[in-house]
Amino acid sequence: MRDDAATRFFVPEVDDDDTWRRRLALVRSIEGDARGNRRVVEAMMAVPRHAFVPAPLRDRAYQDCPLPIGHGQTISQPAVVAMMTEALCVGDDDVVMEVGTGSGYQAAVVSRLVRRVETLEIVAPLADQAPVTLQRLGYDNVKVHRADGYGGWAGAGPYDAVLITAAPEQVPQGLIGQLRDGGRMVVPVGPQSGVQDLMVLVRDGTSTQARSIAPVRFVPMVRSGH
């Protein structure tokens, strides 16, 4: 029987008692990665990760690890999703651009905290499938675009925050230009193979202030034609 206060995060369309309890256990185990941010913890609890994982791997959806989603891409480790979401420092009325939709999981989490998410995916099958999953689950404030993330999506900007879920070797300066003044970018920066540096950058007029959060491993951020 579900008797916890977190019962309100049971998702009838896709959940049963087992998935709900495993998600609750996972989120409780990674709460520290959200730095005590209750809004982020509740967003993580509200999103059924197993619905964004390929069917053969759904029994592993609530393990704290990345999982392959095909086409050389992964769904991020939940602890890292919590860390990156907290680092965005977003509010209810914010508009966020995400680069690297993947299966749509990270966008779904962020969407629980903001007004709108514009998310970009360069891999065509993922760009086609993610909106189907998001719409089926009712995430109607997420818009998926098939696009090269290095170009961003200027038409909906400037953005309150930019979240990049693949690793460029250097910070994409063009995307900083799509942030509003005072906006934040969260991005893993570093070599295509090996450890990258998860960074937070804050736009301050024509300059940026940067700090490092943690070492991470992400798939490379790629460009069209590469």
Name all domains of the chain by residue range, CATH numbers in brackets.
65-216 (3.40.50.150)
Please provide the average confidence, as pLDDT, over all residues in the chain: 94
Residue with tokens 């941010």: 37
Residue with tokens 């209750």: 38
Catalytic residues: 76
The answer to whether residues 102 and 49 touch, using CB atoms and an 8 Å cutoff, is no
Which has the closest alpha carbon to 116: 104, 132, 98, 102? 98
pLDDT of residue 223: 81
- Give the mean model confidence (pLDDT) for residues 74-88: 97
pLDDT of residue 5: 65
Q: Encode pLDDT of 22-67 as tens digits.
A: 999 999 999 988 888 999 999 999 999 999 999 999 999 999 999 9
Percent of the chain with pLDDT over 90: 88
- pLDDT band (50, 70, 90) for residue 4: low
- Give the mean model confidence (pLDDT) for residues 112-117: 98
- Give the mean model confidence (pLDDT) for residues 69-83: 96
pLDDT exceeds 90 at position 224: no
pLDDT of residue 52: 98
- Give the mean model confidence (pLDDT) for residues 142-158: 94
- Give the mean model confidence (pLDDT) for residues 108-114: 98
The answer to whether residues 196 and 139 touch, using CB atoms and an 8 Å cutoff, is no
pLDDT of residue 33: 82
pLDDT of residue 225: 60
4 or 96: which leads in pLDDT: 96
pLDDT of residue 177: 94
pLDDT of residue 54: 96
Residue-wise DSSP of the chain: ---SGGGGG--TTT--HHHHHHHHHHHHHHGGGGTT-HHHHHHHHHS-GGGGS-GGGGGGTTSSS-EEEETTEEEPPHHHHHHHHHHH---TT-EEEEE--TTSHHHHHHHTTSSEEEEEE-SHHHHHHHHHHHHHTT-TTEEEEE--GGG--GGG-SEEEEEE-SB-SS--HHHHTTEEEEEEEEEEES-SSS-EEEEEEEEETTEEEEEEEEEE--PBP--TT-
Neighbours of 65 (CB within 10 A): 12
pLDDT of residue 1: 42
Distance, CA of 73 to CA of 210 (rounded, Å): 27
pLDDT exceeds 90 at position 93: yes
